[in-house]
Amino acid sequence: MRSTAKAVGTAPGKVILFGEHAVVYGRPAIAVPVFEVQARAEVSLGEPGQGVILEARDLDLRYPLSSASADDALATIVWKTLARLEIPPQPDILISVQSTIPIARGLGSGAAVSTAIVRALARYFGKHLTSRAISDLVYEAEKLYHGTPSGVDNTVIAFGKPVYFVRGRTLEIFWVKTPFLLAIADTGIVSETKDVVADVRRRYEENLGRYEFLFDEIAEIAYQGRGAIEMGDLPRLGELMNRNHAVLQAIGVSCPELDRLAQAALEGGALGAKLSGAGRGGNLIALVTPETRGRVDLFLRLAGAKRIIITEVS
């Protein structure tokens, strides 16, 4: 079992550009990485006989892997990764995790932390895992975070590229003709994806016809959105973002704070704006240009945004 003295793995955050919620029901989604926020995992040699020690500095946690419960997502990704790498289950190592990705804001914090851990463990033990293999491992931990995850988060974060995704069928990294800027505005409201997804499932089962229609509408928007990105048609991309937000409102996953930020972004000159992720809090994304980014930033802050990240999608 070859290992290095220390190894580091990192992973970006992500935002869903189109297709949230509908992707759970077999429709396409587009997601893009956000490198301005990162998760970082470091694996180093631990004390002899202590086995695996997990340390989450941001949460002030430190505990042995052997004491973790079956629903511990950090422990799950470590167990599964060690098995995948064919490493004995209790090597004497310290796994330390830090992240600048806000939790429960639709930025993929859980998937990013898991991805960083997988990469750090593989490097520590001198093994190579493909992006596909990393994504598959992280998906297993995502089940604990989200219940019935779509697979979008682990895919876009593991590959670190814009992806067009249909659950269980299609995974395509696609061409961005003209790089574009997104302003990501945080409402400051914690939104648990698992809870929102479960509520949408309940509503879907109560009114299949209505929700199938809404999910089909989102699917068409995602399809056209990919075309707009590949053609470099940013005004069209903005229009589709506005349309997608309206459908998400109809599904029942927006909230007054998100709607207020969307309106502020458009008043500030954004080409389009929509919630991103589960909704009912979390983040709004707005399509801005180099000329409008400052004004949109100001309008979003005045409307109550707690934090704003500008990222380039390329």
Distance CA 149, CA 252 (A): 19
For the chain, give the percent of residues with pLDDT over 90: 80
**Choice among 68-72, 103-107, 145-149, 238-242 with the minimum mean pLDDT:** 145-149
How does DSSP classify residue 105? S
Q: Residues 116-125: what's their mean pLDDT?
A: 97
Query: 93-99 and 61-64: which strand pairing?
Result: unpaired
Q: Could you tell me which CATH number the domain at 6-173 has?
A: 3.30.230.10
User: Partners of 38 in the beta sheet?
Assistant: 12
| Residue-level pLDDT at 142 | 83
Each residue of 271-311: pLDDT tens digit? 999 999 899 999 999 999 999 999 999 999 999 999 999 99
For the chain, give the percent of residues with pLDDT over 70: 97
- The band of 1, judged by pLDDT with boundaries at 50, 70 and 90, is low
Each residue of 206-262: pLDDT tens digit? 999 999 999 999 999 999 999 999 999 999 999 999 999 999 999 999 999 999 999
The whole-angstrom distance between residue 105's C-alpha and the CA centroid of its chain comes to 9
Catalytic one among 136, 153, 186, 297?
153
| Residue-level pLDDT at 93 | 96
Each residue of 44-90: pLDDT tens digit? 999 899 999 999 988 899 999 999 998 888 999 999 999 999 998 78
The whole-angstrom distance between residue 195's C-alpha and the CA centroid of its chain comes to 16
| Residue-level pLDDT at 169 | 87
Q: Residues 28-51: what's their mean pLDDT?
A: 95
| Residue-level pLDDT at 92 | 94
User: Partners of 183 in the beta sheet?
Assistant: 286, 310
| Residue-level pLDDT at 59 | 86
Classify residue 280 as left (phi > 0), alpha (psi -120 to 50) or beta: left
Distance CA 175, CA 159 (A): 14
- The band of 146, judged by pLDDT with boundaries at 50, 70 and 90, is low
Mean pLDDT computed over every residue of the chain = 93
Looking at CATH, the fold of the domain delimited by 180-313 is given as Alpha-Beta Plaits (3.30.70)
| 153 tagged catalytic | yes
- The domain segmentation of the chain, as residue ranges, is 6-173, 180-313
| Residue-level pLDDT at 3 | 63
Using DSSP's 3-state secondary structure scheme, residue 176 falls into: coil
- AA letter at 59: L
User: Partners of 310 in the beta sheet?
Assistant: 183
Report the largest interatomic distance among the alpha carbons of the chain, rounded to a whole angstrom: 61
151: pLDDT strictly greater than 90: no
Could you tell me the end-to-end alpha-carbon distance of the chain, in angstroms, rounded to an integer? 39
Query: 170-173 and 93-99: which strand pairing?
Result: unpaired
